[in-house]
A and B are shown apart, each in its own frame.
Chain A
Amino acid sequence: MTTGYFFSHRHILDIEHLSADDIDFILTTAESFKEISARPIKKVPTLRGNTIINLFFEPSTRTRLSFEIAAKRMSADTFNISASTSSTTKGETLIDTARNISAMNPDIIIIRHSFSGAPHMLSQYVNAAVINAGDGTHEHPSQGLLDMMTVRQHKKRLNDLKIAIIGDILHSRVAHSDILGFLRMGSEVFVYGPGTLIPPGLQELGVTVCSSMKEAVQDADVVMTLRIQKERQNDPLLPSFREYASEYGVTAKVASWARPDALIMHPGPINRGIELMPDVADGPQSVILDQVTNGVAVRMALLYLVTGNS
């Protein structure tokens, strides 16, 4: 840690605007919180009296539960609001919702929204700190951070690693946060997937877009597999899941091209047998459950930091 470092972010909207020092500081803070979840009584009074609102415009049991557990372990009061995006089309805008919620003086609003940029917009209209829990196809910063935490835990570093990200890069906000995060920390990012699911311009970010699975995975330290979103199949992106599984699925053979100590990761929930084969998902290199555990610690750290507790 650089001396005189100060965590200056009021909101956590994306990884893009976090420096390497910020990421390092968040992960170190998360490490210190990890131990709380291992105690018999998993509760500290750190955020007692704080009101946290989970504002979810898109269903996500996992992320919401993870944030809720994180908040409760720090003794904050949490409230869940599930709003459907369609209700806001009929009159009430996101800004109306934001102003109404803001009038109740919450300390933190955690927002998940199907439109990219919604958390950025929200942050301009509320007094509370805003944490992006996934927006459209933009970013999912807490997931990116927990992925980095998991890699750091196993590899003891975040620089000079080869990170292979496989699958639907285009729609994956997790991939976007991971790409920006790992690049920022000094690792190399290789992506591979069907051309229909690779967004334009990745090379300009410093990503290597591979033309074969082997090129992407060869000697990788981390193989990050992404969820294929079955609901996105109205656009002709893929001919079939069967073909996807055979050409882009991570099998034991694919995993064997990576370094022997490579980590197998997935943001979950897994389509077993499509993007990731069951033997790999549940194999010895898989750290998928560590990701889930670390998610709570990272979110505790974020809640702690945005309330001005750095």
Chain B
Amino acid sequence: MPAPLLIKNGRIIDPANTVDCVRDLLIVDGRIADPTAPPHSNSSKIQEIDAEGCWVVPGLIDMHVHLREPGEEYKEDILSGTRAAAAGGFTAVACMPNTKPVNDSRAVTALILSQAEKADARVYPVAAISKNSEGSALTEFGELKANGVVAVSDDGLPVRDSQLMRRAMEYADDHDLLVISHSEEPSLSNGVMNEGIISTRLGLKGIPTAAESIMVYREIALAECLGKRVHIAHVSCSMSAELIRSAKARGVRVTAETAPHYFTLTDEAVMGYATNAKMNPPLRAEKDRQAIRQGLADGTFDAIATDHAPHSMLEKEVEFDRAMNGIIGLETSLPLSLSLVREGVIDEQKLVELMSMNPARILGIEGGTLSAGAVADVTVINPDLAFTYTEEQVVSKSKNSPFLGEKLQGRAVYTIMGGRITHSLA
């Protein structure tokens, strides 16, 4: 166990305990110490962090990343991906199963978890809903859960067969597993960017927002009629947000995440055929961006997740039609989300809910709180620290970010996982 760690004079923001005050936070034996307990006896060995002017929050949790291991380690691996996570303030990530091979079995899950033992963030594997994510037969949810899987998803691919999705929701419920839906109607999504004036101007094939919202509605309809739970991944558009909002109001057990790029960028970012702005679902129109921000403010969205999707130059330095979908996001998520606080869209408590507390609760994992006795996953944020996000400082193996060269504000100055400092700007 590392030496006790005292984080001094930080602004503690802990929505799980409705705390927002300036005080010290002591970490002993990898857990949060009781603030009312007497001071630590062996104070000489205490390591101190000066957090004056900084926020001290439960470690950030990204419930939707792609770590590319096994199979595409040239893009990212579990160690490099979790180093990027730590650099971005994350202490835990949930990794999607579209690796090579697909995480649809105990063996792949075990490999991921064994690599994760040395990692700089906790890694929670998400297994496939269907074998090889082919959409025909369910994977062994029971065995996968017993071996450390926290959710199931065929992310990257929609589950075309509604009956299979129904069975997945029912069977996942037996094992208290979360079903995460990559909501996309395949027959409408045969395009490379959002359908609209920009796709017309660029001569690129568009994907209408209905490709997403139709499937979001199917998942809601299934969850509602079965009384089961479903989580909608990476929501990009206004109509989906509206469907989720009204479903929640009816008491449907639906949760949802969106990603920083959807509340920051629009499809204008594709102008000039910028492949670093190519992703799925695609960047949408300004009205969608506004709707996503509104959905974050009013509780329609439970979480901000990055959909961190590393790709090498080989997949991005090509014609736009040929470029792979996805951008890296772990190192830019916090500064982009902090801008929502600066712009008054959400407050500090809400930010921590979206980036830590809620992802922990939805996935049923530890973390997301600074309660005494809780695991000491802590992020110290300097909300004012400005920096230019350059290719040289990207920690991820891949550099496919549309935010390269941008001036960003606010970042993690310390990331602490189980009492161990995994990232420090000091």
Co-complex (A, B): yes
Q: Does A113 have its Cβ within 8 Å of any Cβ on chain B?
A: yes
The interface stretch among A63-71, A200-208, A214-222 is A200-208
**With A113-B319, A115-B320, A120-B272 as contacts: A136 and B203 at CB distance below 8 Å:** yes
Q: Say which residue of B200, B206, B273, B314 sits within 8 Å of A117 (CB atoms).
A: B273
CA distance A94 to B317 in the complex (A): 9
Question: Does chain A have a CB within 8 A of B201?
Answer: yes
**In the assembly, what is the distance between CA of A113 and CA of B196, in Å?**
23
Task: Let me know if B206 and A176 touch, CB within 8 A.
Answer: no
In-complex Cβ contact of A138 among B202, B318, B322 (8 A) = B202
Name the residue among A117, A139, A200, A202 with the largest chain B CB count within 10 angstroms: A117
Nearest to A198 among chain B residues (CB) is: B200
Q: Is the CB of B200 within 8 A of A200?
A: yes
Task: Report whether A94 and B200 are in contact in the complex, using a CB–CB cutoff of 8 Å.
Answer: no
Say yes or no: A139-B203 contact (C-beta < 8 A), given A200-B196, A200-B197, A204-B197: yes
Cβ of B202: which chain A residues have Cβ within 8 Å of it?
116-117, 138
Known A-B contacts A120-B273, A205-B197; A200 and B321 likewise in contact (beta carbons under 8 Å) = no
- Does B204 have its Cβ within 8 Å of any Cβ on chain A? yes
Tell whether, in the assembled complex, residue A173 and residue B197 are in contact, meaning their CB atoms are under 8 Å apart. no
- Known contacts being A120-B273, A136-B203, is A94 close to B197, with CB within 8 Å? no
Report the separation of the CA atoms of residues A93 and B323 in the bound assembly, to the nearest whole angstrom. 11
User: Does A108 interact with chain B (Cβ within 8 Å)?
Assistant: no
B197, B200, B273, B318: the one contacting A95 at CB < 8 Å is: B318
Q: Which of the residues B273, B317, B320 comes within 8 Å of A93, measured between beta carbons?
A: B317
Question: Smallest Cβ distance from B200 to chain A, in angstroms?
Answer: 4
B206 to A200, Cβ gap below 8 A? Answer: yes
Which residues on B sit within 8 Å (CB–CB) of A205? 197, 200-201
Interface string of B199-211 (1 = CB under 8 A from A): 1111111100000
Would B320 and A202 count as touching, CB distance under 8 A?
no
**In the assembled complex, B195 has its CB within 8 A of some CB on chain A:** yes
Does A135 make an interface contact (CB < 8 A)? yes
A16 at the interface (CB under 8 A from B): yes
Q: Which residue of B lies closest to A207 (CB)?
A: B200
CA distance A176 to B184 in the complex (A): 29
Please measure, in the bound complex, the distance between the C-alpha atom of A22 and the C-alpha atom of B92, giving whole angstroms.
Answer: 55
Contact at A16–B273, with CB atoms within 8 Å? no
Residue of A with least CB distance to B317: A95
Question: Which residues of the other chain, B, contact A199 by a CB distance below 8 angstroms?
Answer: 199-200, 206
Check if A137 is an interface residue, CB within 8 A of chain B.
yes
Contact residues, A254-304 vs B (CB, 8 A) = none
Contacts of A16 in B (CB 8 A): 201
Q: Name the interface residues of B297-319: CB closer than 8 Å to any CB of A.
A: 314, 317-319
Contact A115 B321 (CB under 8 A): yes
Complex contact A121–B273 (CB within 8 A): yes
A193 CA to B67 CA, complexed, in Å: 47
Q: Does A118 contact B (CB under 8 A)?
A: yes
Interface size class on chain B is 20 to 34
With a cutoff of 8 Å between Cβ atoms, the chain B residues found around residue A115 in the complex are 319-322
Residues of A within 8 A of B199 (CB): 199-201
List of B residues within 8 angstroms of A136 by Cβ? 203-204, 321
Task: Give the residues in chain A near B273, CB-CB below 8 Å.
Answer: 116-117, 120-121
**A171 to chain B: closest CB distance in Å?**
9
Contacts of B314 in A (CB 8 A): 93
Determine the distance from Cα of A135 to Cα of B319 in the docked complex, in whole angstroms.
11
Tell me the smallest distance from the CB of A278 to a CB of chain B, in Å. Answer: 30
The answer for the CA separation of A176 and B200 in the assembled complex, in Å, is 8
Assess whether B196 is in contact with A201, with CB atoms less than 8 Å apart.
Answer: yes
Asked if residues A176 and B203 are in contact (CB atoms below 8 Å), the reply is yes
From the candidates A93, A116, A121, A201, name the one contacting B204 in the complex (CB within 8 A): A116
Minimum Cβ distance to chain B for residue A17 (Å): 11
Instruction: Convert A88-129 into 0s and 1s, putting 1 for each residue whose CB lies closer than 8 angstroms to a CB of B.
Output: 010001110000000000000000010111101100000000
| Interface bits A10-31 vs B (CB < 8 Å: 1, else 0) | 0000001000000000000000
Docked pose: A139 CA to B319 CA in angstroms? 15
Q: How far is the CA of A173 from the CA of B317 in the complex (A)?
A: 24
- B338 to chain A minimum Cβ distance, whole angstroms, is 33
| B312 → chain A closest CB, angstroms | 12
CA–CA, A163 and B251, complex, Å? 55
The answer to whether A93 and B318 have CB atoms under 8 Å apart is yes
A138–B195 alpha-carbon span in the complex (Å): 14
Q: How far is the CB of B207 from chain A (nearest CB, A)?
A: 11
* Shortest beta-carbon distance from A77 to chain B in Å: 28
**Residue among B196, B203, B272, B317 with most chain A CB within 10 A:** B203
Contacts A93-B318, A94-B318: A116 and B200 contacting too (C-beta < 8 A)?
A: no
Residue of B nearest to A180 (CB): B201
Which positions 124-163 of chain A face chain B at CB distance < 8 Å?
135-139
- Alpha-carbon distance A138/B198, docked complex (angstroms): 11
Q: Which residues of A contact B197 (CB under 8 A)?
A: 200-202, 204-205
Residues of A within 8 A of B206 (CB): 199-200
Distance between Cα atoms of A16 and B318 in the complex (Å): 22
Within the complex, what minimum Cβ distance (angstroms) separates B311 from chain A?
14
Nearest chain A residue, comparing its CB with the CB of B272: A120
B200, B205, B272, B318 interface centre (most CB from chain A within 10 Å): B200
**Residue pair A200, B195 in contact (C-beta under 8 Å):** yes
Interface string of A179-221 (1 = CB under 8 A from B): 0000000000000000000011110110000000000000000
Given contacts A116-B321, A120-B272, 8 further A-B contacts (CB under 8 A): A95-B317, A117-B203, A136-B203, A136-B204, A136-B321, A138-B203, A139-B203, A176-B201
21 interchain pairs, CB-CB under 8 A: A89-B322, A93-B317, A94-B318, A95-B317, A115-B320, A115-B322, A116-B320, A117-B202, A117-B273, A117-B320, A120-B272, A121-B273, A121-B320, A135-B203, A137-B204, A137-B205, A176-B201, A199-B199, A200-B196, A200-B199, A204-B197
